[in-house]
Structure formats: structure tokens, C-alpha cells
A = this chain, B = another copy of it.
Amino acid sequence: MADYVLPLGRLIDSFRKLPGIGSKTATRLAFAVLNLSEEDAANFASAILESKNDIHTCPVCCNLTLEGLCPICADAERDGSMLCVVETPKDVMAFERVREYRGVYHVLGGVLSPMNGITPEMLHIKELLSRLEDDTVKEILIATNPNVEGEATASYLARLLKPFGVKISRLAYGLPVGSDLEYTDEVTLHRAIEGRRPMNG
């Protein structure tokens, strides 16, 4: 970037700091910002600052919130005996979109990953254990992602939670709704056969 348009160079550098954004995409996006309306650009900048400064994690479930308890933890209508353990706040949003689940959540903030140096101490596991002290929680649904690291984290948690005597469950593996058997991978099909359910009364 020529030094006579320094702010644009800084903007390109900022975009490049986001994951999955390379040099070409960063340049394209920075030029696109120049074409935004003044209002949109001002909104963009203030949304960055407010997101970064005003959003905190809920002291109970570690989900994102503006201040104090998150609305889900603060909602007396939610079933506190059912606790769903997820990796990220995005997963909470996915669950909430289903509108079926009425329990509460616990956000781990990631998964165990020795390859990337993510150890149990770096996840919100201590906070999870402290929620089991008062016997409110009866069932823990471990909803980490269905991949190697999510699975390893689920096994680790199941072992860790066993002494507390609560029911521990895991999301079901199987065929995604609307998928096609012909194109289903072997591992998923294997899990679907393993988890088969009786149909006749």
C-alpha cells in the first residue's frame, strides 16, 4: 500500500487480522468500505467498538451478555435442572433458533485440543463444576460438535462429571434430515445403524 493512503493500508491490515481473510480479500473489503455511505461507515466503526467494549460473558453460563446475568440465566421460566454444554455462544444461538429447548446452557469457550495447546484449564470447566454444587442440575446434555475434538471433549467431560451423579447425555448421531443415503459418509451411516430405533409399537 502506497504511503499516501495510509488509513487504507491500516484498514487492509485490520481486515487481515480476521481469520480466513487473506491479502486480496482484505484489499477488496477495504476498498468496499470507501464505497459505503458515511452513515454505514460510522455505524460499522461504532459497532466494532461497542461489541468489543460492551459485551461481556455471563458470570454463570459464560455466554455473551451486555451486563450481569445473561437473559437466559436470568429467566425464571427456563428449566434449571437441564443443562446443555456447548462450545461457543454461536451454538447457543443455534439451539435457541430451534425453540424446543427450555433448559439452560453452559458455554465452554472452545474444545480441548492438545494440537493447538488448548488444555482443560483454558475452558470454562471450573465454572461448570461449580454449578453442580447445589443439586439443581439433574441432566447435562453435552452438545459439543460431532467431530474429533468435540468428541474427545465430550468424553473428557463425561468422565469428569460422573462422580456428581447427574444424568449425562450426548446429542444423537445419525442422518441429517433431508439428506440422501447415497451421499452419506460411512462413519455417519455406521452411527445411524448403531443408533437405530424401533418402529413397531
Residues of A within 8 A of B (CB): 1-2, 4-8, 10-11, 13-14, 17-21, 25, 27-34, 36, 38, 40-55, 64-66, 70-71, 88-90, 93, 96
Contacts and interface: CB of A to CB of B under 8 A. Distances in A.
B36 A41 contact: no
B36 A70 contact: no
The majority secondary structure among interface residues of chain A is helix
A96 B2 contact: yes
B18 A29 contact: yes
Contacts of A30: 51
Nearest to A11: B47
Return the 6 tightest CB-CB contacts between A and B, nearest first.
Answer: A7-B50, A14-B44, A41-B52, A11-B47, A10-B47, A45-B45
Contacts of A41: 48-49, 51-52
A20 B28 contact: yes
B17 A40 contact: yes
B34 A42 contact: no
A173 to B, nearest CB: 23
B4 A19 contact: no
